Structure 1
C-alpha cells in the first residue's frame, strides 16, 4: 500500500505487540497530526509501560483494548493487522470497502531495495541468518528483518529498532533518537518510501516470512526461498489448503527477473514451484544441509566468492532451540530442538543425529497432527527411552500401541488414558520394560524429564529434546521449554530428595518387533 494512499484514511493498528508498536511509531512520524486507532484483545493494564511512553502527550490516539476491541473496526477505513491475529477472527467485523493490510505489505509496496524472502514450515530463521551473514561478510549492506530480525518499518525511518518497547519498560539504544528529539518528517507524507529511507537503493533486506505475514500479500520478494511445507498452524487457518496458499504467496507474484530457490524433495513445495514464473533453482538436503544449500545458492546469485561463503558456514553456530548442542555432561550429549513443534521436524532430527539417540523427549500441546510417520521413525531408530509430556505424549504412545496391533488395553484391563490419569510415586521410580527395548515415562515438568534422561542415557549416547508439538499448556513458549531443558541439563538433572513429578507409568509385556 503506497503511503500517500493513507493520507486521508482512518487507520487502526490492530495488535499491540512489538510489530504493532513499531507500526504506530512509523505512522505517527509520517502523520504527526492524524488520529490513529490502536486495538488489542488484552486489557490496557497489560501495556502500562508502553502506554505511558508511546501515548504520553499524544492527544490524537484512540485506544480500543479488551474483549470487545474488534467492535472498533467499523469506525476505520484501513486496518493494519498484526500477523498473530487470525483472519477468520476479524472477518465478521469487516465491512465493504475496508482495506486490510499489514506491516509486511506496507514494506513490500514501498521498499526501494531488494528483498530476499525466506519461508518454510521449519528452517526459516537458520537460513535467513546464514544468508544475512554471507552477504555482510562480502561487504553488502544487508538487513535481517521479519520474524527473526528487526521490525521493518523502524528501518525505513532509520531508527534501527531504537523504539522497541518491552513489557518491563523501554530499552532504547544509546544515542538513539527519542520521541522528543527524533527528526520530524512533517505532516505531509511522501509518495514513496525511498524518499525517507536512510540508506541506498542497493540495500538488501533478508526477510524471514511466516505464513501469517505472507497471507494476502500481493507482492513477492526478488529472491524467494521456499524450504518445506508441513501441516502447521491449523488452529489459525480454516484448513491445510489455506496454509499452503499463504506460503505460496512468496513466489506467486514473482516475474522472470526474479529467483525461486526451492526444496525439490518436498512434494508440496515442488508443486508450487511448477507454477512459478521466476527462475527456478532446486535444492536438496536434510535438516541443516538444506539451510546451507539455500544460503549457498543466494550467495551465487550475488556472485560472492566460494571461499567467503565457506568461511561463514564453518563459523556459523546453530541458533538457540534449533537442534542446538547443549553440551556433553557425564558422557551424554544433549541436544535442544525445542522449536520442533511438528512430527516432521522430530523425524528429521532423529535422522540427522543417527543411531546414537538413545533418549527422546516428546509431547506438548495437541493441534490434532498425525504422528504415524514419527512413530515409524521411532520404531526404526535405536531409541531406548521415551519421555513424554502431555497431551500429545499420550497420543504418541497410543499410536505406538496401535501400530503394533495391541489395541487399547495393555493386558491389565486398564486403558491407556485411565492408566495415565492415575500416576503414583512408586511407579515413577520403577518403570516396567516395554518389549525389552523401549521404556516410556509420562512427566509434567522439565526437571523430572532431565532427571530421567540422565538415568536412562548411557555415556557416548544422545538425549534429544524434539517435542514434535507446541509448548502451550506447560510452558509459555518454545523458548522457555528449551531454556528449562538447558538449565536442568547443566545442573546434572538434580532433583530434591523425595520430590517427584506426578507421572503415569505403564508398559506392555509384548515383544516389540524391530
Structure 2
C-alpha cells in the first residue's frame, strides 16, 4: 500500500507485534504521529515500552475482536491467512503487510530471494558479494535489519537484498527487480490451506515482474520450472551448480560453501547481472562461514563431531544435511512441532544411510518412530530414544554416538513443541554439547 493511501486512513491496527509488527508500528508512528495506531497480539504478557503507554493494546485470545473498528490492518507475516477473521479482512481490502508497504514504496532495486530451503544462505552470499564490489547493498528481511525505516530516506539509488518468506509474499501484489528461487518443497501446511496455496504465495515473487526484470532460478526443481512460466522477466537458469562454480576457477572455496553449491551458483548469477569481477567475489567468500544453525560445526568433544542444523524445519532440509555428511552420521536428533508434512522420504533415507541412533523430540517424534516401525528390516533398524529437553538429548548423544562419528541436530520440524525458536533450539544444543563435553 502506498504511503499516500495510508495517510488517508484514520485508525490503524498493527496485528502481531513481533519483529516486523514492531518495525511497522515505529515506522508508521514516526511517519504519521497524529494517527491512532493500536496493537493487537495473541500474547498476553507482551513487553510494553514506557513510550507506548498511550497506545491501545488488545492482547490475549480475543486479540482479533476489535479488527472491524479500524480503517486499516497491518498484518504481521506470522498470522495465518486461513483464520476466518483474516479472510474477511482480505475480502474487504482492509489489510496490508509490512512487506507490501516496503515493496510498493521502495524506489531502489530489490533482489528478492525465496524458497523452502536455502534462501538465507543465498541472500547472505549475494549481500557479501555485492558489498565486496562496493555496491553498498542493504540486507533486509528475515536475516537482515528491519526494512521499513529505510523508507524514511531516499531509496532510489539503493540495493536491497531481501530474504523473503512465503508468509511475507502472500498477496503482496509486487515482484522484485531480481527474483531468486532456490528450492520448493511442501512446507508451512499448518499456516496455509494447502500446498497449492503455499506455491501460489511463492509465485508472487515472479508473477508481477516485467521484461526488464531478472529471474534467477534452480532449473533442477520441477515445481520451480512450472512457476517460472508465469514471469515476463529475463530468465537465468542454474542447471548444474558445480559447473557454474567451476567456470570461475576459484583458488580456494571455504568448506562451508561445499555444502551449498546451488546457493553459491545462484549468487554468482546475480553477481553477473551487476558485473562483479572474480577478485571481488573471491574476497567476499574467502572467510564465508554461513549463517548459524545451518550445518554449523560446533566442535569435536569426547571424540564426537557435533553439527548444529537447527534451522532445518522441513524433512527435505534434513535429507540435504544427511546427503552432505554422508555415512559419517552415527546419531541424528530430530522432531519438533507438527506441520503435517510427509516424512516417508526422510525415513527411507535414514534407513538407507544406516544411522544407528535417533533421538526424538515431541510432537513429531512419535510419528517418526511409528513410520520407522512400519519399515523395520533387521539390522538397519536404528535405536530410538525419546527426549524432552535438549540437555537430555545431548546426554543420550554422548552415551550412544560412536567415537570419530557425527552427532547431527537436524530436527526436520519447527521448534515450538519445546523451544521458542530454532535459534533457541540451536543455541541450547551448542551450550549443552560444550557443557557436557568438557
Return the TM-score normalized by structure 1: 0.77
CA distance in 2, matches of 1:136, 1:308: 9
Instruction: Check if 1:79 corresponds to 2:73.
Output: yes
Instruction: Check if 1:3 corresponds to 2:7.
Output: no
CA distance in 2, matches of 1:386, 1:296: 37
Q: Is the 8 A contact 1:26 1:154 kept in 2?
A: yes
Instruction: Name the counterpart of 2:126.
Output: 131
Q: Which runs of no fewer than 5 residues in structure 2 stay unpaired?
A: 242-257
- SS of 2:340's equivalent in the other structure is coil
Instruction: Name the counterpart of 1:278.
Output: 233
Instruction: Name the counterpart of 1:213.
Output: 168
Deviations 1:337-391 (A, max 9, x none): 0111111111110001111112111112222221110111112214222222223
Map 1:195-234; keep pairs closer than 5 Å: 197-198=153-154, 201-234=156-189
CA distance in 1, matches of 2:13, 2:271: 40
Instruction: Name the counterpart of 2:95.
Output: 100
CA distance in 2, matches of 1:97, 1:475: 36
Instruction: Name the counterpart of 1:442.
Output: 386
Instruction: Check if 1:119 corresponds to 2:114.
Output: yes
Deviations 1:45-89 (A, max 9, x none): 5233x2x12x25x5xx44333333322221222211111111222
Instruction: Name the counterpart of 1:294.
Output: 266
CA distance in 2, matches of 1:332, 1:212: 38
Q: How much does 1:103 deviate? A: 1.0
Map 1:314-393; keep pairs closer than 5 Å: 314-393=286-365
Instruction: Name the counterpart of 1:478.
Output: 422
* Counterpart selection for 1:256 from 211, 235, 259: 211
Return the TM-score normalized by structure 2: 0.90
CA distance in 2, matches of 1:392, 1:305: 47
CA distance in 2, matches of 1:264, 1:401: 36
Instruction: Name the counterpart of 2:22.
Output: 21
CA distance in 1, matches of 2:87, 2:305: 51
Q: Which runs of no fewer than 5 residues in structure 1 stay unpaired?
A: 158-196, 406-433, 495-514
* Counterpart selection for 1:458 from 397, 402, 416: 402
Q: Is the 8 A contact 1:471 1:478 kept in 2?
A: yes
Runs of 4+ residues over 6 Å off in structure 1: none
Q: How much does 1:437 deviate? A: 6.3
Task: Go from structure 1 to structure 2 and tell me whether the alpha carbon gap of 1:452 and 1:40 turns closer, same or farther (over 3 Å shift).
Answer: closer
Instruction: Name the counterpart of 1:167.
Output: none
Task: Go from structure 1 to structure 2 and tell me whether the alpha carbon gap of 1:476 and 1:453 turns closer, same or farther (over 3 Å shift).
Answer: same
Instruction: Check if 1:68 corresponds to 2:62.
Output: yes
Q: How much does 1:154 deviate? A: 1.5
CA distance in 2, matches of 1:95, 1:371: 33
Instruction: Name the counterpart of 1:469.
Output: 413
Q: Is the 8 A contact 1:127 1:294 kept in 2?
A: yes
Task: Go from structure 1 to structure 2 and tell me whether the alpha carbon gap of 1:439 and 1:404 turns closer, same or farther (over 3 Å shift).
Answer: closer
Instruction: Check if 1:246 corresponds to 2:205.
Output: no
Q: How much does 1:436 deviate? A: 6.9
CA distance in 1, matches of 2:420, 2:14: 25
Deviations 1:288-339 (A, max 9, x none): 1111111111111100011211332231102111111111122221110011
RMSD between superposed Cα atoms in Å: 2.0
Instruction: Name the counterpart of 1:182.
Output: none
Question: After alignment, is 375-384 or 222-231 more displaced?
Answer: 375-384
CA distance in 2, matches of 1:95, 1:259: 30
Map 1:139-218; keep pairs closer than 5 Å: 139-157=134-152, 197-198=153-154, 201-218=156-173
Q: Is the 8 A contact 2:309 2:409 kept in 1?
A: yes
CA distance in 2, matches of 1:118, 1:41: 29
- SS of 2:140's equivalent in the other structure is strand
* Counterpart selection for 1:88 from 65, 68, 82: 82
- SS of 1:91's equivalent in the other structure is helix
